[in-house]
Amino acid sequence: MSRRTKKVMIYLTAVFAGFLLLAPFGWMVLASFQTQAELVARPLPWVPGKFYPDRYIDIFTSAAGKDFRAAMRNSLVIASSVVLVSLFVGTLGGYAFARLRFKFRRAILMTFLFTYMLPQVALLVPLYMILYNIGLLDSVMGLILVDCSLVVPFVLWTLSNYFITVPLEIEESAWIDGASRLKALWHVVLPSARPGIFAAAMFAFLLAWDEFMYALIFSNSNASKTVPVAISEFAGRYITDFGKVAAGGVLAALPPVILAAIFQRYVTSGLVAGAVKA
């Protein structure tokens, strides 16, 4: 097989894989502009007879869409707060695990990873009791805390692996020039670890933004309801507006897609370098 043929096959495979990945999202966009009659028709029309934007207008302007707008606000606040907290803890903790040598270092790091691997359903009852006792049920702050319990171990593990890839020599040079360890971390290590930090922040945002089970169990009103819960409520007991579910899915996908488009080069390099064994 010639080199040109291999390159053509690689590109064709990439195009096919891209189509498989994007087809569900493309269909969701089309469904959000179709009427309910078209969505339940058999055979299902692949292209809408006419574009029907009323669902988006309803979500953004009507009183009925107020709940979804409140959920979007809550999700943005929760996801952004979780990213800030997890990056702060993950940066300091990841640096400590990567650079410092102390007793039970490996065991402690594996414990953090183990907590991340626990199924969410196993933590529902203890987390519910904790939030109930401290008065944070049905609150944005309560969801931030429980999402941090899910996201922080992931960020800590990712950044600890990435900090190992930063050459120790550049940090030692800062120490020789009189910088403290924290100053060297801020001015030398963090700029060098920018791809890994962006990758961790991106996936932390996605984990908090897409989280459904905790938000469903721990929220009872619009005060803390998130986007995944709001979309699930578009499905009624006897009838489901599939078009509104699709419109909500499109709007919910926009923030992660925009972030991925902005930071995709950092995410790619950060994931590759973060695969180094701690």
pLDDT for the residue 85: 95
pLDDT for the residue 277: 44
Cα gap 187→189, rounded to integer Å: 6
pLDDT for the residue 16: 92
Cα gap 48→115, rounded to integer Å: 46
Contact 160, 273 (CB under 8 A): no
Name all domains of the chain by residue range, CATH numbers in brackets.
1-52 (no CATH), 61-277 (1.10.3720.10)
Hey, what are 219's tokens?
């929220």
pLDDT for the residue 103: 83
Tell me, rounded to whole angstroms, the distance of Cα 191 from its chain centroid: 23
pLDDT for the residue 74: 94
- According to DSSP, the residues that pair with 240 across neighbouring strands are 235
pLDDT for the residue 275: 45
Contact 213, 227 (CB under 8 A): no
Cα gap 131→143, rounded to integer Å: 9
How much of the chain is in helix, strand and coil states, percent to nearest 5? 75, 0, 25
Mean pLDDT, each 10-residue run in order, the chain (278 residues): 82 90 87 83 76 85 82 94 94 88 82 81 89 91 92 89 84 83 85 86 91 90 89 74 86 88 68 47
The residue type found at 151 is V
Hey, what are 159's tokens?
């950044």
Cα gap 55→61, rounded to integer Å: 10
Residue closest to 222 by CA, chosen among 73, 82, 76: 73
pLDDT for the residue 238: 59
DSSP letter, residue 139: S
Hey, what are 208's tokens?
């908090």
Phi, psi of 138 (to 5 degrees): 55, 50
pLDDT for the residue 276: 44
